[in-house]
Amino acid sequence: MFSFIWSFIPTSYFLPEWLTLDTNPVDSLLQGLVGACGISVLCSLLRVHLFLEEESCSDNDKDPSRQRTQSQPRKTKTGLSGMLHFFFVTGMLAVVGSRVASLVVLEFCLRAISGWVTAGPESKKFLQQLLVQSQFSLGCALSCSLYFLHQGASQRWLCLLLAAALSWFLARQATLLLHHVLALYKLHSSQRYCGICIGLLTSGRCLLPMLCRAMIIAFSVAVVAAISTINKHFLSATEALRFWTPLTICYTLLVVYMQEEQHRLPSSQAVLNTVVVRLGGLMVLMLTVGRWADVLHILMCFLGEASCLIPTMDLLDSASSQDEEDYTDYVKRERQRRPQAREKAHQN
């Protein structure tokens, strides 16, 4: 129905071909809405996980100074600002084309695999930071997967409408869970009053592994959809090889460079530098083998990444501060062990 109405609007007379959307604007908007809801669910559950981690650390730690730093209130987007941010991310995901969204998904998967291999003992800190950095990539993954799965569907808009309604419901429930935990978890968990808080108290450590498994499933489907979507733009295997070879080499070098930067700079600054470097490299590649529409969509990705990362810098800082606290505890334990080891050596 929407495609029939849209066919009578003469957009091709006013806009050049490279400025038009890949699909129906209503379909693109619904895909962007599903992606924005997925980002909202991820952020809400991440905040719940970090709040539970801080509460468990404050219960085990007797230092009042550290309890004060851990009990600082979390920043959550509520009211008009939260709705404006949500619809801005929805618009960015709706405007970004399926080709660039596919490239963003493949680039993030390559970066995630290489970073996980080189993380070593910092795997928990790396997973938390990676989940925060994956917000816009997750939106692109959901949008790309929906574009691939609903190709050729006779009632595509209806399927996307149902997916958007379900995503909106899940995002709403995750937001309500976050507000409930921030306001009442301490009271309910101490008095054993609320089933939700008791469940989080007993099995809250399973939240991060559950998020990781959900992300693996989402990006596994998105990788298949991304490869299929990109290969449709090539006429032969030679042209496809000419595209994939510089893309793989460039991003392998970029991944190695970004891993060194993350160890040298603070976490928030390293994340922003990473976004600029990898999207800048993708823009250079699109200027050589892409189209003008791809360059425009990559500029939209800059805005989308910034709108997702800047409001959640507190999550990155909390993950890095938690790692620093673990390191200081390790140093204290080592200092306490050294005099005991020296006394034993003198006795022997």
Predicted pLDDT at 72:
47
Residue with the bigger pLDDT between 15 and 345: it is 345
Alpha helices in 134-155 (DSSP H): 135-149
Which range has the worst mean pLDDT, 19-33, 78-92, 213-227, 241-255?
241-255
Instruction: Count the neighbouring beta carbons within 10 Å of the beta carbon of residue 184.
Output: 14
Residue with the bigger pLDDT between 110 and 58: it is 110
DSSP state string for 205-237 = GGHHHHHHHHHHHHHHHHHHHHHHHHHTT-SSH
Distance from C-alpha of 348 to C-alpha of 63, rounded to nearest angstrom: 36
Mean pLDDT, residues 139-163 taken together: 88
Mean pLDDT, residues 5-25 taken together: 51
Give CA torsion, residues 314, 214, 150, 159, to 10 deg: -80
Distance from C-alpha of 74 to C-alpha of 55, rounded to nearest angstrom: 13
Distance from C-alpha of 107 to C-alpha of 110, rounded to nearest angstrom: 5
Name the DSSP class of 24. -
Predicted pLDDT at 5:
47
Predicted pLDDT at 61:
58
- Does the structure show a pLDDT above 60 at 37? yes
AA letter at 1? M
- Share of residues in the chain with pLDDT > 70 (%): 68
Q: What share of the chain is helix, strand, coil (3-state, %, to 5)?
A: 85, 0, 15
Predicted pLDDT at 162:
93
Count the alpha carbons within 13 Å of 335 in the hemisphere toward its beta carbon: 6
**Domains of the chain by residue range:** 22-342
Query: What global pTM score does this model have?
Result: 0.80
